Structure 1
Amino acid sequence: MITLRVNGSTLETDSDPETPLLYVLRDDMELNGAKFGCGLGQCGSCTVLADNMPIFSCLTPIAMLADRDITTLEGLGSIDAPGPVQRAFIEEQAAQCGYCIPGMIMRAHALLMKNSAPDEAAIRDALEPSLCRCGTHMRILRAVRRASEGFQEQTSAARERNR
């Protein structure tokens, strides 16, 4: 039995320890934000966060994730209350087919958690492992810059409250 912490909830699973996290998320937890794209860690559509670091859930066996905090797209917000990165992607209409977007959002969120004011090179570097075949790269970059502004405002507000 392996215990996973996903989006603040605990799941005990008797799945084979070598089972990729993606299948447990989608099949057992019904969290369908992470997508199966290539199964090889080359497209990024399956990206989730483990301890705020992006990982390819299609490649990562659940045995490696015990005692780690896993965050999926669903853990960042909801349809009614999207998180700042999700909201920025919506406002910039960054999705065309939308298949890559969950992974892009997760990578952008991880970047902004570390650096709320990344430059263009840092954004491109963070998103590089994710592949968008529709060519919405410019809208995706605008969405991350917009989300960055929201993260900076939150950081400033938090500093003010702590004074």
Structure 2
Amino acid sequence: MLKLTINKKVYNLDIDPETPLLWALRDVIGLVGTKYGCGMAQCGACVVHLNGEAVRSCVTRVSRAAGKEVVTIEGLSDNNDHPLQQAWLELDVSQCGYCQAGQIMSAAVLLRENKNPTDKDINSAMEGNICRCGTYLRIHKAIQLAADIQRKGSK
């Protein structure tokens, strides 16, 4: 039995410790905001926070998450009002939307660690997140806007 804390809720899972965290989130717990993209930690669709670090849940075993804090896109904010979520909506970033949860979760770590990211900082932090629709310019602008919102004290 593995004890996981996901979005501030405790789950006791009778699951193989080698199971990727992604499948525990989606198939066992039912949190489907985190997406499967490549299964090899190369696309970023599956990014979640593990003790505040952005990790690829498709290659992170549930045993690594046991006893730690996991945050998914569903737990990023209580009312979908995180500055990134606000900026994503304001700038209509999503096209197909498939990669967006992973993009937002990666960007959230950046903005938590760097309140004034430069273009280079944003590019570096988002480098491993792939968007098949090519909304990179809107993603970049949304991160800049979210940083502005955050600095103004919205969250």
The question of a shared fold, defined as TM-score above 0.5 by the shorter chain, is answered with yes
Q: What runs of 5+ residues in structure 1 fail to find an aligned partner?
A: 159-163
**Amino acid of the structure 2 residue aligned with 1:55:** V
Q: Deviations over 1:64-117 (max 9, x none)?
A: 111211110001136x54321111111111111111110000000011111111
Within the alignment, does 1:90 sit opposite 2:96 as a pair?
A: no
Q: TM-score, normalised by structure 1?
A: 0.91
Within the alignment, does 1:137 sit opposite 2:136 as a pair?
A: yes
Equivalent position of 2:117 in the other structure: 118
Alignment of 1:21-40 (within 5 A): 21-40=21-40
Q: Secondary structure at the residue paired with 1:31?
A: coil
Within the alignment, does 1:60 sit opposite 2:60 as a pair?
A: yes
Q: Against the structure 1 CA distance between its residues 152 and 51, is the aligned structure 2 distance closer, same or farther, given a 3 Å change threshold?
A: same
Equivalent position of 2:2 in the other structure: 2
Q: Secondary structure at the residue paired with 2:151?
A: helix
Q: What runs of 5+ residues in structure 2 fail to find an aligned partner?
A: none
Q: Against the structure 1 CA distance between its residues 81 and 38, is the aligned structure 2 distance closer, same or farther, given a 3 Å change threshold?
A: closer
Q: Secondary structure at the residue paired with 1:11?
A: strand
Within the alignment, does 1:102 sit opposite 2:101 as a pair?
A: yes
Identity %: 40
Report the alpha carbon displacement of residue 27 of structure 1 after superposing the two structures with TM: 1.1
CA–CA separation in structure 2 for the residues paired with 1:53 and 1:142: 23
Aligned-residue RMSD, C-alpha? 1.5
Equivalent position of 1:11 in the other structure: 11
CA–CA separation in structure 1 for the residues paired with 2:80 and 2:44: 25
Equivalent position of 1:46 in the other structure: 46
Q: TM-score, normalised by structure 2?
A: 0.95
Q: Against the structure 1 CA distance between its residues 85 and 58, is the aligned structure 2 distance closer, same or farther, given a 3 Å change threshold?
A: same
**Amino acid of the structure 2 residue aligned with 1:104:** Q
